[in-house]
Amino acid sequence: MVLERLMHMIRKEFIQVFRNPKMRAIVLVMPLIQSMVFGYAVTTDVKNVPTAIYDQAETPESRDLIDRFIHSGYFSVKTIIRSDREIDELLDNGEVAAVLRIPSDFSAKIASGSTAAVQIIVDGTDSNTAGVVLSYAGNIIRNDAIELMQKQIGNQDWEPLGVNLQTRAWFNENLTSRNFYVPGVIAAIVMLVTLLLTSMSVVREKEMGTMEQIVVTPIKPIEFILGKTMPSIILGFVNMIFVTLISVFWFDIPVRGSLMTLFIANGFYLMTTIGIGLFISTISDTQQQAMMSTFFFFLPALLLSGFMFPIANMPEVVQAFTYFNPLRYFLIIIRGVFLKGVGVTILWPQILALFILGTFVLTLSVKKFRKNLA
Amino acid sequence: MLVSNNSEYAVTVKDLEKRFGSFQAVNKVSFQVRRGEIFGFLGPNGAGKSTTMRMLCGIIIPTAGEATVNGFDVFHQAEQIKNHIGYMSQKFSLYEDLTVEENIDFYSGIYQIPMVEKKNRKDWVVKMAGLDEHRNSLTAILPGGWRQRLALGCALLHKPPVIFLDEPTSGVDPISRRSFWELIYQLAAEGITVFVTTHYMDEAEYCDRLAMIYRGELVAIGTPDELKVKYMNNDVLNLECLDPFGALQAVNGIPEIREAALFGRGLHLAVNDASSSIPIIIKALQERKLVYTRLEKIIPSLEDVFVSIIESRDSSAGL
Ligand SMILES: Nc1ncnc2c1ncn2[C@@H]1O[C@H](COP(=O)(O)OP(=O)(O)OP(=O)(O)O)[C@@H](O)[C@H]1O
Ligand SMILES: [Mg+2]
């Protein structure tokens, strides 16, 4: 291998990437946009749920409970209603997403020491949100019940076992969905950018006919392949660092573990994505095809990675597939490093999996690539 | 290396074949190219010109046969060949998104031109291509003729003894074609072997020697003059008239006329013997009251030769 030739290849690749407006956007703008989207827009936190109150009891106890709803921050009372009929109307036209109905015998039952029922009706169209709303409401009501109990038995410290614990887990006080998603963007962005860079830069040479010229020069296949992949590796790391900086300094997401672990894992992760990028370049003749193939791979990989949807909820057959998905492992590593502060001692199975997957994919692709070149 | 410097031939080809699946693109082609010669490869679209050239440059591997370039075997020494040839593919193949200088720098890096020579070679290419004022222009915006000269320059950076040019002047205006051929002559004068494909007949006339290729087969080879004598066993008559289409119909039934083809403002007629055929043709024209301004025996052009060879091939193949 001749270093001079390699350096000239890499230099040329960088000039081309940064001179091409589309490529520039992919490398520089996309990571920023994705971080912002997942930092601000995509959130499963439920706040200010539009709510209607139907207070049939109208007693001090019922008003206490309503106060709790208002002050929780999760519910925003839009209207007070006075009939069952209105419930249907409001939910149907989407004016409110939840209705709190306190029956007229609410206070009487509390006074008599029997169980008082409260009804929460939610719009189940978005089942995710509905579930979260129900659990919030449940917690508010439970807290209310505890205080009532404390008053009745005259003991301020009385607590039903375990209730407090549950409350912490359910209440999303620290906006953890942002903490959960933004570091995940690193994995998604690094994959997408390096897949596109690698496959497009090779296919562009085929499409433009420059490949024909380059194979007549004394350049060795290994120099060509390294020349094509080194820029992807470098830009893959740059993107990783870039999104990490946004996470830490813009979104205040803590990095509790070692960045070194993240760097090493990123290196192995890049082996897989660049291997796949090279493979795509061998099966595509035009940049259009390379782009299509990239998304054909990337979208399922993203959906089946645990980035948005927990793998544990997927059918078992699909779960089996995810073991071949590098994104799956890298996400666990990233979230482990960022949120849990764990290191190689805990994450080594995922790091090893990436290494094995990377070696395998890269070897196969380079073999296929060299065969195509000859 | 020793072999390469001593051999009289820059390129030798024997029974070279290339099949793509069941399609025979090049069929048992044999020829030799002398050092310092301008060797032309002439043939219609799809004849197999590019395929032959790509085999010689080591881009594709031949299916069968033998070939050497500069003394190196195309099967086993493709890497050495690449160090000793320049190649300009049929499609413009420099980087359009790089500037003139960036392209030159890239290829001098790939060819490992020594540091001390780099600047000289670059200046030489820029001057040769006439691009002194466009050193920093993107290649994409250059007119066709300039691009071709730049491509030629980049293919010559490492001073190869043999250069392969695949239709270097297609899509280039006539004046640029002229100046491009002047460059080719200069290179040949410096001792560089030039292997060039074309389907321009006038360009074929500029070559020292020509090979005609048709449907993957070599159908004729020689100097342009040799071809005209050797492969034309007919006389060619030039008929100029006011109504070439009418004349074509008029002469169609005459058995002495082997071929008739529209040519410029008249017809070219291939006949066995000029002196005996002329009166017959005149009679046929007069019968139809067709006016002609000239009817005479001419030296056949390469196009006549080529058409004649192809037609005799096709008729013997029963097409
Ligand atoms: N890679 C390939 N696979 C299949 N067929 C091919 C391939 N390359 C060339 N051919 C076919 O081989 C034949 C010869 O092609 P070639 O490019 O050598 O022709 P050519 O003489 O250069 O013609 P042109 O003047 O159009 O450039 C054509 O019919 C072409 O379709
Ligand atoms: Mg061709």
| Residues in contact with ligand 1 (CB, 6 Å cut-off) | B 20, 23, 25, 43, 45-51, 90, 199
- The pick from B51, B89, B201, B218 for probing ligand 1's pocket by mutation, whose C-beta has the most ligand atoms within 8 angstroms, reads B51
* More confident site: B178 or B258: B178
**Do B110 and A218 lie within an 8 Å CB cutoff?**
yes
A163 domain-assigned: no
CA B259 to centroid of ligand 2, rounded, Å? 28
CATH number at residue B258: 3.30.70.980
Examine the domain organization and report whether A277 and A356 are in the same domain.
yes
* CB-closest option in A5, A20, A216 to B109: A5
Examine the domain organization and report whether A53 and A20 are in the same domain.
no
Q: Looking at residue B319, what is its pLDDT?
A: 58
Percent of chain B whose predicted confidence (pLDDT) is above 90:
56
A169 domain-assigned: no
Burial (CB < 10 A; 0-12, 13-18, 19+), residue A155, is exposed
pTM, full prediction: 0.80
Q: Which of A193-197, A260-264, B126-130, B308-312 has the lowest mean pLDDT?
A: B308-312
Q: Which residues from B are below 8 Å from A218, CB to CB?
A: 79, 82-83, 110-112
- The per-residue pLDDT for range B234-255, each reduced to its tens digit, is 788 888 888 888 888 888 888 8
Please calculate the CA angle A266-A268-A272 and round it to the nearest 5 degrees: 105
**Do A216 and B106 lie within an 8 Å CB cutoff?**
no
**Do B110 and A214 lie within an 8 Å CB cutoff?**
yes
Question: Once rounded to an integer, what is the mean pLDDT over residues B155-183?
Answer: 91
Specify the ligand 1 atom closest to the Cα of B26.
Answer: 14
Examine the domain organization and report whether A213 and A358 are in the same domain.
yes
> Does position A353 have pLDDT exceeding 90, yes or no?
yes
Examine the domain organization and report whether A292 and A193 are in the same domain.
yes
A164 domain-assigned: no
CATH number at residue A138: 3.40.1710.10
- Give the HSE-up count for residue A286: Cα atoms under 13 Å, Cβ half-sphere: 3
Examine the domain organization and report whether B262 and B281 are in the same domain.
yes
* Counted domains in chain B: 2
Nearest CA in chain B to A10: B106
**Do B93 and A217 lie within an 8 Å CB cutoff?**
no
Question: Once rounded to an integer, what is the mean pLDDT over residues A274-286?
Answer: 95
Q: Looking at residue A44, what is its pLDDT?
A: 64
- Give the residue carrying structure tokens 């790391």: A237
Examine the domain organization and report whether A219 and A115 are in the same domain.
no
Mutate to test the interface with A, among B72, B93, B157 (most CBs of A within 10 A): B93
* More confident site: B184 or B258: B184
Quote the tokens at residue B188: 């040949």
Q: Looking at residue A158, what is its pLDDT?
A: 65
Tell me the C-alpha distance between B197 and B202, whole Å.
12
Domain range enclosing A336: 2-42+176-373
Question: Once rounded to an integer, what is the mean pLDDT over residues A107-118?
Answer: 80
Q: Which residues from B are below 8 Å from A219, CB to CB?
A: 110
Examine the domain organization and report whether A319 and A302 are in the same domain.
yes
* CB-closest option in A7, A11, A218 to B82: A218
> Does position A299 have pLDDT exceeding 90, yes or no?
yes
Q: Which residues from B are below 8 Å from A12, CB to CB?
A: 95, 98, 102, 106
* Per-range mean pLDDT, top range of A48-57, A116-125, B61-70: B61-70
Q: Which residues from A are below 8 Å from B83, CB to CB?
A: 218
Split at pLDDT 50, 70, 90, the class of A159 is low
Å between B277 CA and nearest CA of chain A: 52
Tell me the C-alpha distance between A346 and A325, whole Å.
20
A306 domain-assigned: yes
**Do B109 and A8 lie within an 8 Å CB cutoff?**
yes
Question: Once rounded to an integer, what is the mean pLDDT over residues B270-294?
Answer: 85
Examine the domain organization and report whether B250 and B223 are in the same domain.
no
* More confident site: A248 or B274: A248
> Does position B296 have pLDDT exceeding 90, yes or no?
no
Q: Which of A27-36, A153-162, A318-327, B134-143 has the lowest mean pLDDT?
A: A153-162
Please calculate the CA angle B3-B49-B261 and round it to the nearest 5 degrees: 135
Residues 88-117 of A with CB under 8 A from B: none
Q: Which of A264-273, A341-350, B102-111, B250-259 has the lowest mean pLDDT?
A: B250-259
Examine the domain organization and report whether B24 and B145 are in the same domain.
yes
Q: Looking at residue B295, what is its pLDDT?
A: 87
Q: Which residues from B are below 8 Å from A216, CB to CB?
A: 57-59, 82, 85, 87, 89
Examine the domain organization and report whether A145 and A237 are in the same domain.
no
CA B26 to centroid of ligand 2, rounded, Å? 12
Asked if the C-beta of A19 comes within 8 angstroms of chain B's C-beta atoms, the answer is yes
B21-30 LR contacts (CB < 8 Å, sep 24+)? B24/B216, B25/B51, B25/B216, B26/B51, B26/B52, B26/B55, B26/B62, B26/B216, B27/B215, B27/B216, B27/B217, B28/B65, B28/B217, B29/B65, B29/B213, B29/B216, B29/B217, B29/B218, B30/B218
Number of neighbouring beta carbons within 10 Å of residue B265? 12
Q: Looking at residue A76, what is its pLDDT?
A: 86
Q: Looking at residue A341, what is its pLDDT?
A: 83
> Does position A126 have pLDDT exceeding 90, yes or no?
no
DSSP strand E in chain A: where?
Answer: 49-55, 75-80, 98-102, 119-122
**Do B112 and A2 lie within an 8 Å CB cutoff?**
yes
Q: Looking at residue A256, what is its pLDDT?
A: 86
User: How is B56-99 classified by DSSP, letter by letter?
Assistant: HTTSS--SEEEEEETTEETTT-HHHHHHHEEEE-SS--S-TTSB
Split at pLDDT 50, 70, 90, the class of A275 is very high
> Does position A195 have pLDDT exceeding 90, yes or no?
yes
Examine the domain organization and report whether B53 and B114 are in the same domain.
yes
Tell me the C-alpha distance between B40 and B226, whole Å.
14
Q: Looking at residue A301, what is its pLDDT?
A: 95
The chain B residues in contact with chain A (CB within 8 A) are 57-59, 61, 79, 82-83, 85, 87, 89, 91-98, 102, 105-107, 109-112
Give the largest Cα separation in chain B, rounded: 78
Examine the domain organization and report whether A283 and A355 are in the same domain.
yes
Q: Which residues from B are below 8 Å from A2, CB to CB?
A: 112
Burial (CB < 10 A; 0-12, 13-18, 19+), residue A280, is buried
Q: Looking at residue A164, what is its pLDDT?
A: 37
> Does position A167 have pLDDT exceeding 70, yes or no?
no
Nearest CA to ligand 1 atom 31: B46
Domain range enclosing B294: 233-299
Q: Looking at residue A162, what is its pLDDT?
A: 39
> Does position A127 have pLDDT exceeding 80, yes or no?
no
Nearest CA to ligand 1 atom 16: B48
* More confident site: B18 or B312: B18
> Does position B175 have pLDDT exceeding 60, yes or no?
yes
Tell me the C-alpha distance between B237 and B296, whole Å.
5
Examine the domain organization and report whether B53 and B95 are in the same domain.
yes
Q: Looking at residue A14, what is its pLDDT?
A: 96
Split at pLDDT 50, 70, 90, the class of A160 is low
Phi, psi of B290 (to 5 degrees): -100, 135
Split at pLDDT 50, 70, 90, the class of A261 is very high
Relative to beta strand A98-102, strand A49-55 is parallel
The H or E element containing residue A163 is helix A163-170
Tell me the C-alpha distance between A166 and B287, whole Å.
113
Å between A368 CA and nearest CA of chain B: 17
* Closest ligand by atom to B61 CA: 1
Contacts of A169 (CB under 8 A, 6+ apart): none
CA A69 to centroid of ligand 2, rounded, Å? 79
User: How is B274-286 classified by DSSP, letter by letter?
Assistant: HHHHHHHHHHHHH
Number of neighbouring beta carbons within 10 Å of residue B46? 12
Nearest CA in chain B to A20: B97
- The per-residue pLDDT for range B193-221, each reduced to its tens digit, is 999 999 888 888 899 999 999 999 999 99
User: Residue B195: beta bridge partners?
Assistant: B39, B164
- Give the HSE-up count for residue B180: Cα atoms under 13 Å, Cβ half-sphere: 26
Q: Looking at residue B237, what is its pLDDT?
A: 87
* More confident site: A264 or A182: A264
Phi, psi of B242 (to 5 degrees): -80, -30
> Does position A165 have pLDDT exceeding 50, yes or no?
no
* Per-range mean pLDDT, top range of A118-127, A180-189, B103-112, B194-203: B103-112
Q: Looking at residue B305, what is its pLDDT?
A: 84
* Counted domains in chain A: 2
Question: Once rounded to an integer, what is the mean pLDDT over residues B158-169?
Answer: 94
Q: Looking at residue A45, what is its pLDDT?
A: 65
Tell me the C-alpha distance between A319 and A317, whole Å.
5
> Does position A132 have pLDDT exceeding 80, yes or no?
no
A97 domain-assigned: yes
For residue B273, give the 3-state DSSP assignment.
coil
B315 domain-assigned: no
> Does position A163 have pLDDT exceeding 70, yes or no?
no
Q: Looking at residue A131, what is its pLDDT?
A: 76
**Do B82 and A216 lie within an 8 Å CB cutoff?**
yes
A171 domain-assigned: no
Q: CB within 5 A of ion ligand 2: which residues?
A: B 49-50, 90
Give the largest Cα separation in chain A, rounded: 95
Q: Which residues from A are below 8 Å from B92, CB to CB?
A: 209
CB pairs under 8 A between A and B: 65
Q: Which of A137-151, A221-235, B73-87 has the lowest mean pLDDT?
A: A137-151
B289 domain-assigned: yes
Examine the domain organization and report whether A136 and A236 are in the same domain.
no
B100 domain-assigned: yes
* Closest ligand by atom to B60 CA: 1
Nearest CA to ligand 1 atom 19: B46
Tell me the C-alpha distance between B293 and A310, whole Å.
91
Q: Calculate the average pLDDT of chain B.
A: 89
Give exposure, A57-83, as e/b (b: 16+ Cβ within 10 Å). Answer: bebebbeebbebbeebebbeebeebee
ipTM reported for the complex surpasses 0.95: no
Q: Looking at residue B307, what is its pLDDT?
A: 81
B149 domain-assigned: yes
Phi, psi of A219 (to 5 degrees): -60, 140
Number of neighbouring beta carbons within 10 Å of residue A135? 16
